[in-house]
Amino acid sequence: MIRFNQKEQIFHLQTKNTSYVFCISDFNSLEHLYYGKKIPDDNVKHIGNRQIYGHVAHEHREKREFNASVQGFEIAPFNSGDIRTPSVIYNCDGNVDCNRLRYRSHQIYKGRKQIDGMPYSRESEDTETLQITLTDDDNQVEFTLFYTVFQNVDVIARHQTIKNTGKTNVTVQKFASACVDFYGMDYDVITLEGMYIYERAMVSRNRIKRGTFKNESLTGTTSHCKNPFIAICSPNADEEMGEVYGFNLVYSGNFSEEVSVSFLGDTRVLLGISDVGLYWTLKPNESLCSPEAVMTYSNGGIGQMSRNFHDHVRQSIIEKEFVYSARPIVINSWEASYFAVSEDKVLELASSAKDCGIDTVVLDDGWFRPHDKQGLGDWRTDKERFPSGIKGLADKIHAMGLKFGLWLEPEMVNENSELYKTHPEYVLTTSKTPLISRHQYILDLTRDEVVNLIADRISQELEGAEIDYIKWDFNRYATEAGSFKTAQGEVYHRQMLGSYKLLAILKQRLGKALFETCCGGGGRFDLGMLYYSPQIWTSDNTDPYARVFIQNGTSVAYPVSTLSCHFTRGDCTSGRESTYEFRYNVASFGSYGYELDLSEYSSEDKKMFKGYSEKYREIEDLNLKGDLYRIISPESGSFCAYMKVSKQKDKAYLTFLELNATGFVESTTLRLKGLDPDKQYKNEESGVVLYGSTLMNVGIRIGDLFRKKRSDGYSVLFTEVKK
């Protein structure tokens, strides 16, 4: 609900459990007052208007004590008297002028307006928007701030536009989507740190005392190393208790996020597209729109913050059509045969698929090239290895009663391709001798003609083929990114807009296909991609021991159904062995599939795989719709444990994994989470019936869980016993 208190000039944005309050100040700026647990009052002005003598000029001519740098602001332009880190920097005709932004008008309406050309949180029945216009009359610049409230899931989304309403050019050099000020400085910052084959595996926590903490990606993607999710929390916050403010961007390119503690001990959170290299020129009448930022508040610790974001992603980011539907159980050809794939090989995989409970056969890289040195940009099927073409193969797979999926990497071109030879100017570069990575360049998607050309080539090649699933890959970072056509300071963001355009066109042309995005594993795992693809390939690292960390970190911000997780040989990245059961227990964390050469496995093995697929289908509704409770983080020592609980709390799935053989496993007690204390639950394996309250307080002894091998880990279903 959004209220405007006319008398006090206060905006109060309320969700089910939170309040976000700000006012129009005496000088018509937007002064932030409060964000946190829901409060009934609108008028909390007493908390603002703080007076501390400073040396900065301001508009309170008579009040020496007024200091803009201790007020909270909703937007904080550079050079405005607030000497903290600014949220926007723009200049007019080359001058960074004093940017006095004045409130002009606002509207409150049900629903929301869509953001053209960019992903955003989709409207549902709980959605309401506050739109505020501010102007800088000296420079004739207009800002519009959008606050969209998603009441049921405790999420507020923000974005803004800047418009040049004058007669000279305006240049934008920093343009955060959101600025959120907090009074006080008692916060830890949580980020998801990682690297290639270890994406988001390190949930990192830093105490910010003074100065600025920056979470930033400059790779042209959100990257393997960084993620746009960021949170601040009270130092005592853990999974279950304490205050946590979570933030994320609905964006997949370069981003900058800052948490800074000012000299006076207040905290400012900024998040948006990266300002590094940003120099965006707005001619008269032109405007620029920021990506959307989302934020949530939890006073139930990190776990509740995660669940708020999970609900939001499912309600408003993922397409309705896919979000709660059973996902394909795939067999993917990559780890089965890498580039040595052929029609025969795919048909061979398909012939065993049903025996393993698999319903979708995915042809990965290799269908238009024998290695990674050619093919991208031309996308011509290798007719020697795929004599029936993609359409023919898809038909054969469908005739076997299976679905067909295909790998694509549309944003790239190999040096050794017809496209690059005829159009070397179509790649992103600032040099005549562009830098190459994995033998490929990134296509210049800031140019519409390139976007359209790629879309046409790929659709021509796939003409008539019925494709049920697309794996959309992106296998290098941007380096020396420039364009032969687009202004340098606009390249990175325009490139991202081009990628979104291409995704939208091909999604539309490929009709019913479910898209899974990928980026050399999980290098573009973000809300921007989830808008187009309900699931993302989490990592090229499928060693289950490493995956536990990767999946645990990723789940802090993203619902488990968005993590694509495959049962594989498990040893490809590490050489480490693991049992089948352990691999299943880890891979069933998310959307489950296989990546194996099935011809190497016996019929006994296949029977086991079938059993796993069936077991997964039994708990899939918990993955798609349930709540995640992390019980033991793998980072805390030798174990990892988590539960998925249905919203009705009538069904729950516990997974316990031992990562490191220790002596004390026998006596360790595990207290379950998320159950209804007053309901009785049956352990579907042992048949023991206990109250939720008993399971959550007394717990169970881990030693009792291991009737099988400790190295298998353990998963069990609990179902409500109706009285």
Residues within the interface to ligand GLA (CB under 6 A): 334, 364-365, 407, 473, 475, 518, 520-521, 537, 540
Active site residue 540: yes
Active site residue 473: yes
Please, what is the minimum distance in Å from the beta carbon of residue 409 to ligand GLA?
7
Torsion of CA 533, 534, 537, 542, to 10 degrees: -170
Closest to ligand GLA by CB, 72 or 520: 520
Closest to ligand GLA by CB, 66 or 532: 532
Question: Structure tokens of 508?
Answer: 């539309």
Rounded Cα gap, residues 32 and 193, in angstroms: 30
Beta bridge mates, 414 = 440
Please, what is the minimum distance in Å from the beta carbon of residue 275 to ligand GLA?
30
Closest to ligand GLA by CB, 275 or 473: 473
Please, what is the minimum distance in Å from the beta carbon of residue 691 to ligand GLA?
45
Residue whose Cβ sits closest to ligand GLA:
365
Non-local CB neighbours of 125 within 8 Å, separated by 6+ positions: none
Contact 380, 445 (CB under 8 A): no
Q: Which amino acid is at 670?
A: L
CA distances from 327 to 513, 591, 670 (A): 12, 7, 31
Closest to ligand GLA by CB, 20 or 474: 474
Helix 580-587 to helix 544-555 angle, to the nearest 10 degrees? Answer: 10
The Cβ-side half-sphere exposure at 231, using a 13 Å CA radius, reads: 30
Using alpha carbons only, what angle is made at residue 27 by residues 26 and 31, rounded to the nearest 5 degrees? Answer: 75
Say how far residue 152 (Cα) sits from the centre of its chain: 20
Please, what is the minimum distance in Å from the beta carbon of residue 345 to ligand GLA?
15
Please, what is the minimum distance in Å from the beta carbon of residue 461 to ligand GLA?
18
Closest to ligand GLA by CB, 253 or 520: 520
Rounded Cα gap, residues 720 and 723, in angstroms: 9
Non-local CB neighbours of 454 within 8 Å, separated by 6+ positions: 410, 411, 443, 502
Please, what is the minimum distance in Å from the beta carbon of residue 538 to ligand GLA?
10
Please, what is the minimum distance in Å from the beta carbon of residue 439 to ligand GLA?
11
Please, what is the minimum distance in Å from the beta carbon of residue 79 to ligand GLA?
45
Supply the DSSP string of 30-86, one letter for each residue.
EEEEEEEE--S-S--GGGS--B---S---S-TT-TTB-GGGSEESS-BTTSS--S--
Closest to ligand GLA by CB, 239 or 364: 364
Rounded Cα gap, residues 501 and 273, in angstroms: 18
Question: Structure tokens of 62?
Answer: 């008579």
Closest to ligand GLA by CB, 163 or 226: 226
**From 540, 543, 627, 712, active-site residue:** 540
**From 154, 364, 473, 712, active-site residue:** 473
Question: Which letter, b or e, does each residue of 178-196 get, where b requires 16 or more Cβ atoms within 10 Å of its Cβ?
Answer: bbbbbbebbbbbbbbbbeb
Closest to ligand GLA by CB, 78 or 407: 407
Rounded to a whole number of angstroms, the distance between the first and last alpha carbons of the chain is: 39
Residue positions annotated with a catalytic role:
473, 540
